[in-house]
Amino acid sequence: MSEPEYLSVSSLTTYLRRKFDLDPYLTRVFLTGELSNFRLRPGHQYFSLKDDQAKISAVMFKGAFAKLKFRPEEGMKVRVVGHVTLYNASGQYQIVIESMEPDGVGALYQALEQLKTKLAAEGLFSRNQRPLPRFPRRVAVITSPSGAVIQDIRTTVARRYPILQLVLFPAVVQGTAAAGDLVRQLRRVREMGGFDALIIGRGGGSIEDLWPFNEETVARELVAMPMPIVSSVGHETDTTIADFIADHRAATPTAAAELVTPVPLVDALARLEEDRLRIVTATKALLSGQDARLKRVRASVVLTQPARLYDQYVQQVDQLSGRLVASTQQLLADRRHRLAMANALLAPQALTTRVATAAQQLSQDQVRLGRAIRAAVATDRQRVAQAAAALDHLSPLKILGRGYSYATAPDGTMLKHRRDFTVGQKAQLHLQDGVVPVQVLAPQQGKEDNNG
């Protein structure tokens, strides 16, 4: 019996992958399931599809994922189209997804709702609330040059407000290139400037036809426009992102033209005439009131008898002058009195008396100072004598004079106890009149030894 041939893991995996790739039932698979482990990545997307009983790994490459009109989210139920293969590195089978759409809701509707939620959270839907000018002079229109929209707008403006200048910025309003063309024309309008309002729109159609007006790039460009925006996209029942961003929404192109031309020219001229008459009437009333006021001023006492203006002032000046003279005289009298008193104090006889008095006071102060110094010295001497006597009582020499002595080691340490002495130890015995060197021959037997 021959030895069996062993395969490598990579050989077996390659064989199984060829089985997957060549199976006609696995080259194009239509699958529905729930997104699991989905996390948005910058390049290729890796996640899983699952139902109640099973789960399969899934990969969607960058090119296919970029074509999605909606943003996949964790737990979303989707329908996908792709082919099943086996990934050699992990040995797991997976589905490579080529297209994806929400299950039960169209991809475009799902993308529209997601973008509406995102822009609403940023506050973009409530940012543009600008009023339209009452008498515009120049309005920009972004729409198809060949559609019925521009014709309806021109007809309405010619009927209601023919002096309004319409400037058409032709744009593609349907198809994959429409969003970029709309953004380009919006930027042209902003760069050119000088417009009182902007109308953007197109005729009705399906959600796919109106989709360029739901693109995020178009929405953000509309937010940046410096003038009020009127959106007229589709029919009355159609609603796009552009309608939410715009300052005003019109159901039809005709309604958009009526919004930017609020009143017909004839009505405007009639209103101007009414305003002119009101201004004339108000001016006449103002002039009449000012004329009456002028007459009252001319007849006032100020102009007819101007001298009466100074009567009170002249009287007040007289009163102040009298007060000034009286206060000056009083001040001079006070100064004279003070001068007389100073002269009296500076007379020769007064000075001699003051000097004698000061000399007598000085002599008395010297006597008192001498007494105070002698008393203080006597008190301090007594305090010093008392302190010396107290220190003498505390002096060790006083104790030695009564027959006591004390011993110290050569290094000056006090020897207080019997255990501090050793045989042969030298010590110094301190007496009242000097120090005697001694040597220990044998320690004296103490109470501890006797009690042994």
Task: DSSP for 336-369, please give it.
Answer: HHHHHHHHHHTSHHHHHHHHHHHHHHHHHHHHHH
Asked if residue 141 is part of any domain, the answer here is yes
Asked if residue 297 is part of any domain, the answer here is yes
CATH code assigned at 72:
2.40.50.140
**Spatial separation of the C-alpha atoms in residues 153 and 281, rounded to whole Å:** 39
Asked if residue 248 is part of any domain, the answer here is yes
Asked if residue 126 is part of any domain, the answer here is yes
End-to-end CA separation in angstroms for the chain? 109
Asked if residue 98 is part of any domain, the answer here is yes
**Spatial separation of the C-alpha atoms in residues 99 and 352, rounded to whole Å:** 131
Indicate if 297 and 242 belong to the same structural domain. Answer: no
pLDDT in tens, the chain (452 residues): 567 788 888 888 888 888 888 888 888 999 988 888 888 888 899 999 988 788 899 999 999 999 888 888 887 888 899 999 988 888 889 999 999 988 765 566 777 888 888 888 888 888 878 999 988 999 999 999 988 889 999 999 998 888 899 999 999 988 888 999 999 999 999 999 999 999 998 887 777 788 899 889 999 999 999 999 999 887 766 788 898 999 999 888 889 999 998 766 667 677 888 889 999 999 999 999 998 888 887 777 666 777 666 767 777 887 888 889 999 999 999 998 888 888 777 777 777 777 888 888 998 999 899 899 999 999 999 999 888 888 877 777 677 767 778 888 888 888 888 888 888 888 888 887 888 898 888 766 655 544 43
**pLDDT tens per residue, range 90-149:** 888 999 999 998 876 556 677 788 888 888 888 888 887 899 998 899 999 999 998 888
In the numeric block, which tokens belong to residue 74?
A: 């964790």
Indicate if 279 and 404 belong to the same structural domain. Answer: no
Q: How many CB atoms lie within 10 A of CB 35?
A: 20
Indicate if 21 and 136 belong to the same structural domain. Answer: no
Indicate if 147 and 288 belong to the same structural domain. Answer: no
Asked if residue 94 is part of any domain, the answer here is yes
**Spatial separation of the C-alpha atoms in residues 356 and 359, rounded to whole Å:** 5
Indicate if 34 and 132 belong to the same structural domain. Answer: no
Q: Is 429 helix (H, G, I), strand (E, B) or coil?
A: strand
DSSP state of 435: E
Going by their DSSP bridges, the two strands 165-170 and 138-143 should be labelled as parallel
Give the DSSP letter string of 14-54: HHHHHHHHH-TTTSSEEEEEEEES----SSSEEEEEE-SS-
Examine the fold and report which residue of 74, 104, 134 is the final residue of a domain before the chain moves on: 104
Indicate if 126 and 241 belong to the same structural domain. Answer: yes
Burial (CB count <10 Å: 0-12, 13-18, 19+), residue 159: middle
Indicate if 118 and 182 belong to the same structural domain. Answer: yes
Q: How many structural domains does the chain have?
A: 4
Asked if residue 372 is part of any domain, the answer here is no
Indicate if 92 and 139 belong to the same structural domain. Answer: no
Going by their DSSP bridges, the two strands 165-170 and 77-87 should be labelled as unpaired
Indicate if 246 and 130 belong to the same structural domain. Answer: yes
Asked if residue 440 is part of any domain, the answer here is yes
Indicate if 83 and 68 belong to the same structural domain. Answer: yes
245 residue type, one letter:
I
**Spatial separation of the C-alpha atoms in residues 233 and 87, rounded to whole Å:** 48
Examine the fold and report which residue of 60, 76, 104 is the final residue of a domain before the chain moves on: 104
CATH code assigned at 119:
3.40.50.10550
β partners of residue 414: 408
Indicate if 91 and 26 belong to the same structural domain. Answer: yes
**Spatial separation of the C-alpha atoms in residues 281 and 19, rounded to whole Å:** 98
Indicate if 258 and 176 belong to the same structural domain. Answer: yes
**pLDDT tens per residue, range 274-287:** 889 999 999 999 99
- The residue range of the domain holding 219 is 113-262
Give the DSSP letter string of 69-95: SS---TT-EEEEEEEEEEETTTTEEEE
Do 187 and 142 meet the contact criterion of CB atoms below 8 Å apart? Answer: no
